Structures are given as structure tokens and as C-alpha cells.
Amino acid sequence: MPLLNPRDQDYLRGRFAEELENPVKLVHFTQNTAVSQLVIPGRENCLYCRETRELLEEIAGLSDKLELEVHELSAGSAEAAAQGVSRVPATLIQGTNKGRVRYFGIPAGRELPSFIDTLVDVSKGEVGLAPETQEALAALDQDIHIQVFFTPT
């Protein structure tokens, strides 16, 4: 059973057709459902891994400009370590520009519109910042790590 209702699917399909300019790759790190049912000392179970993967599969299926790549997070996951991912569910949103967006958790409910906006922005290669802010960031001589926390309360 789909997580997105048909009306929302139609809306997103149309929005993606109009607004996605370049391909976007969703690199998703998850935990196997069977593994997440086991209680392993020192390891938290992934509460929304299955639902997150299903939602991302639905979203990626709405446009040929969206690609979903799925990786299993394990203790020795070189790909996860290289991407700075240590917990799941985690999704990297990659476009053609420098930088990356890492999204932790399930992009559902009130988070979904922001997640969709991010897909569009990454596809366009835009950041939506004022020119003065972009100039100030361009003047930095080292990489910075920006984190944004979202809560519906």
C-alpha cells in the first residue's frame, strides 16, 4: 500500500516535471528490517527504516530525474563512513553542485514539503540565499558544517 495518496503522487509528479532541472541522487542508508527486529546490545533499532525506504522509493518513482541508491548501514560500512553517516535512516541528497545535504529520519508529515523543496533546489543548483549571504559564504577559506534541526512542535 502506498504511503502517498494518489492526489499527492499526482501533485508531486507534476511539480517534478515542471521544476526538476538536473538529476538528483538520493543515497539512502538503512537497516535491514530483519536485522532491526533483533535486539543487539549497544545498537539501537531503526524505528522508521522500512517506512523511510518505502517513501523514498515512491518519491523516486515519480520522476526519471530522481535516482535512489540504497545501502545497508553496518559496523564496517566504508560507504557510510566516507559520507559521515553513523545512524539511520539517513538520506544524502546529491546534485551536480559542490556540497551535500544529509537528511536524518523519515521525511514525512510536516517535514515532507521541506524535503521536496530541497530536492527541487538541489536539482536547480540553487540555495535560495540572499546575494550578500552567498558572497559572505564564498569568502570563507575553509569548509563549514551547517546543521538545521526541524521539529513540528
Higher pLDDT, 10 or 82: 10
Cβ–Cβ < 8 Å for 65, 15: no
Mean model confidence pLDDT for the chain: 86
Q: Which domains does the chain have, with CATH numbers?
A: 6-138 (3.40.30.10)
Could you give the count of Cα atoms lying within 13 Å of 17 in the half-sphere of its Cβ? 7
- The CA-CA-CA angle for residues 49, 53, 57, to 5°, reads 170
pLDDT tens digits, 19-30: 999 999 999 999
Which residues have CB under 8 Å from 125's CB, separation 6+? 21, 22, 95, 96, 97
CA distances from 105 to 13, 84, 111 (A): 23, 15, 10
Which residues have CB under 8 Å from 92's CB, separation 6+? 25, 26, 27, 28, 83, 85, 100, 101, 102, 103
Give the Cα separation of 123 and 95 in Å (integer): 6
Q: What is the pLDDT of residue 97?
A: 82
pTM of the shown model = 0.82
Q: Say whether pLDDT at 65 is over 60.
A: yes
**Per-residue cell: 65:** 530525474
Q: Say whether pLDDT at 35 is over 70.
A: no
pLDDT tens digits, 49-61: 999 999 999 999 9
Cβ–Cβ < 8 Å for 89, 30: yes
Cβ–Cβ < 8 Å for 68, 56: yes
- What is the residue-wise DSSP string for 38-49? S--TT----SSH
